[in-house]
Amino acid sequence: MMELMTRESVVLDDVDRGLLQALVVDGRASFARIGEVLGVSDRTVARRYARMLESDLVRLVGDVDPVRIGGAEWVVRVQCKQGAAADVAQALARRDDTRWVNLVSGGTEICASLRSWSATERDELLLHRLQRTAPVLSVTAHNVMHVFGGGRQGLDGPGSLGPEQIAALAPVHGEPAEALTDADRPLLRALAEDGRAPYPVLAAATGWSQSRVARRLDALRAAGLLWFDVDVDTELLGYHAEARLWASVSPADLVTTGATIAAHPEVAFCAATTGPTNLLVAVVCRDSRDLYRYLTDRLSALPQIHTIETAPIIRTVKRAGPTR
């Protein structure tokens, strides 16, 4: 039984692994319900989850498609002067509209995900703030047009939930909401900070009653307008080689190729984007040899891919949720 998690050594037992998988199924499932499915007490589940949060092993946040509220998702690549990228990356990480921020390649380039809720918000960062930052040499922005999938958590192996356990955890919702509205923004911001924020906290953030918060949250989830992302620190799970791949595929093959790549167990994220390349892939591997095998074996079997640029992640400055 594991009693301590540190960044130097993390070993997940079956309860930890089952808990993480349960949260993937339903990020707001009660600890009592998860404990019932796992065969442990709700106190054990609560204690394990709190320990994971304290060690920064996991973050659970609410997520939305910004396009559904008139916004957009962009991936930006920022080239900086030598020695300046870390400071620029930290500044980006402190922004509410950045989802993840990585230092890649030789440490002079930043790759970041930007969620804008309006063209004004997008332009403020892309056209003004970044362009006027002295250490920045160049900025390229790639609009995320379609997400094929992904979501590798590194949770395979002992302790995996069975079909009956997954079915028991699957949430049951009421009537779906018709759309996201401006009134939902305080709720969405609070859930982006903590996807398991209790109803009193969400009520305080929105000015609504707890019952109204519960109804609206359920309606948004029922409509697929809101979901919960369990972001596990894969390095702590033994995966030490992450990379962003920028690939070129002919438009006729983009849908099939993107769906195929998204199903690969090494892939955490795969999307069609604008720009000089049209496919962005986030890959998580055990080590550099594992990454090499993925590139030369699995991707080489897809002749539809014309070119691939590989940008290894040197350091993750921000993962899902606020910076800590």
pLDDT in tens, 62-99: 988 777 767 788 899 999 998 899 999 998 888 877 88
Range(s) for CATH 1.10.10.10 in the chain?
1-56+155-172
Please state which architecture CATH assigns to domain 1-56+155-172: Orthogonal Bundle (1.10)
Judged against a pLDDT cut of 70, whether residue 283 lies above it is answered with: yes
**Cβ neighbours, 10 Å, residue 120:** 8
Residue 2 pLDDT: 41
Per-residue pLDDT band at 159 (split at 50, 70, 90) = low
Judged against a pLDDT cut of 90, whether residue 119 lies above it is answered with: no
Residue-wise pLDDT for 234-276, tens only, equals 776 778 899 999 999 999 999 999 999 999 989 989 999 999 9
Range(s) for CATH 3.30.70.3460 in the chain?
67-152+239-316
Exposed, middle or buried by CB within 10 Å (0-12, 13-18, 19+), for 146? exposed
The highest-confidence range among 92-96, 106-110, 120-124, 199-203, by mean pLDDT, is: 199-203
CA distance linking residue 305 with residue 317, whole number of Å: 30
Contacts of 195 (CB under 8 A, 6+ apart): 27, 28, 60, 61, 62, 228, 229
Q: What are the structure tokens assigned to 102, written together?
A: 């990585």
* Average pLDDT of the chain to the nearest whole number: 87
The DSSP element (H or E) to which 289 belongs, if any, is: helix 288-293
Give the torsion through C-alpha atoms of 49, 52, 56, 58, to 10 deg. -60
Contacts of 234 (CB under 8 A, 6+ apart): 152, 153, 154, 242, 268, 284
Count the alpha carbons within 13 Å of 303 in the hemisphere toward its beta carbon.
Answer: 0
Size of the chain in residues: 324
Residue 246 pLDDT: 96
Judged against a pLDDT cut of 80, whether residue 218 lies above it is answered with: yes
Q: Are 5 and 23 in contact (CB under 8 A)?
A: no
Please state which architecture CATH assigns to domain 67-152+239-316: 2-Layer Sandwich (3.30)
Per-residue pLDDT band at 107 (split at 50, 70, 90) = confident
Per-residue pLDDT band at 116 (split at 50, 70, 90) = confident
β-pair partners for 59: 231
Residue 321 pLDDT: 63
